[in-house]
Structure 1
Amino acid sequence: MDNVDRAILAVLEHHGRISNNELAARVGLSPSPCLRRVRRLEEAGVIRGYRALIDPTAIGRGLRVFAAIRLIRHTRTDVAAFERAIIRLPEVVYTHHVTGNYDYLLQVDVADLPAYEHFHAHRLAELPNVGTVSSYVTMKTLPHEIT
């Protein structure tokens, strides 16, 4: 991977639906070599796919909460049981296994604070092996654009 590939990835990461002609212009290539590079990156698995970014408020998920989870036990069986359970919860958008004071950091998208309170009490706290949950309510999310 060279600097041109990295430039292609930087543009596609923020503008996945950009036309090949516009992408080529932004990274300083002609369209044919640019398309070949994108296809090579896709085939190599560097580009794993493209997605639509959905406005969470438009689909009833206007509140984003980050939940830090500490497990009670860390045996393979206990960790696997937690992971099997957490990926089945549709409110959990991302699950990150982290180091530090907590074991997992979850991004949870729900309608509002009462919906999160219900999710926390009746779904999250009931998962196997959950010791503590610390919740961080998002007040604002700043966009990160490339220039």
Structure 2
Amino acid sequence: MAFKLDQIDRKILEILQANAKITNAQLSKEIGLSPAPTLERVKKLETAGLIRSYHAQLDTEKIGLGVTTFVQVTLVGHRKSYIDAFVRKISDIDEIIECHHITGSGDFLLKVITKDIPSYQKLMLEKVNEIEEVDSTQSMVILSTFKNSKVLPIPPDK
């Protein structure tokens, strides 16, 4: 169920997505409210679950993570027990930073980030492909990224 947002709520969400480190004083100036009601609105958005967390976006190359891949995974079957077991097992693999249950020729799409190709190969051979629920994988290595936005488009009010 969608949360009812007014124009001020939308503006707060847009600003916080662009700069989560903004001070409440600066945020209040940008939306045209005093600091107390601004903070109250942010808390309301957090409590309602619209703002789930705040994160620092790191530069992967500068911290030594040079290879990002998408991996399409097909499971041996579609029983709930297979899906649950697979999700539980990949949740323990730090290099898998995203996991999406998908439609189409595969069952899951993973986003994997590693130091280099040998690290990626080792991860796939020793961890992912060793998961008994995995039937097959297809890897797509990212050569370059032209857009990597974490900003969600906020739908207008109807």
The TM-score normalised by the length of structure 2 is: 0.83
**1:101, 1:3 → 2: CA distance?**
41
- Counterpart of 1:73? 77
1:102 aligned to 2:122?
Answer: no
What is the Cα deviation at residue 145 of structure 1? 8.3
Of Structure 1 and Structure 2, which has the larger fraction of its residues in helix? Answer: 1
State the 1:29 CA deviation.
Answer: 3.0
SS in structure 1 opposite 2:61?
Answer: helix
Identify unmatched segments of 5+ residues in structure 1: none
Q: Structure 1 residue 6: deviation in Å? A: 1.8
**Counterpart in 2 of 1:6?**
10
User: How big is the alpha-carbon RMSD for the aligned residues of Structure 1 and Structure 2?
Assistant: 1.8
1:21 Cα deviation from its structure 2 partner: 2.4
Q: Which of 36, 60, 80 does residue 32 from structure 1 map onto?
A: 36
Shift of 1:76: 1.2
* Conserved? CA contact 1:81–1:128, under 8 Å: no
Deviations 1:107-146 (A, max 9, x none): 1110011211111122111112112211111122224487
Q: Which runs of 5+ in 2 are unaligned?
A: 152-158
Residues 67, 117 of structure 2: 8 Å contact kept: yes
Aligned residues: 146
Secondary structure of the structure 2 residue equivalent to 1:122:
helix
Q: Does 1:19 find its partner at 2:4?
A: no
Q: Distance in 2 between matches of 1:144 and 1:73?
A: 34
- C-alpha distance in structure 1 between counterparts of 2:46 and 2:88, whole Å: 29
Partner of 1:135 in structure 2? 139
The answer to whether the Cα contact below 8 Å between 2:74 and 2:108 also exists between their aligned partners in 1 is yes
Cα distance, 1:145–1:75 mapped onto 2, change above 3 Å = closer
Task: Name the CA distance, whole Å, in 2 between partners of 1:145 and 1:91.
Answer: 19
Q: Normalising to structure 1: TM-score of the pair?
A: 0.88
Calculate percent identity across the aligned residue pairs: 36
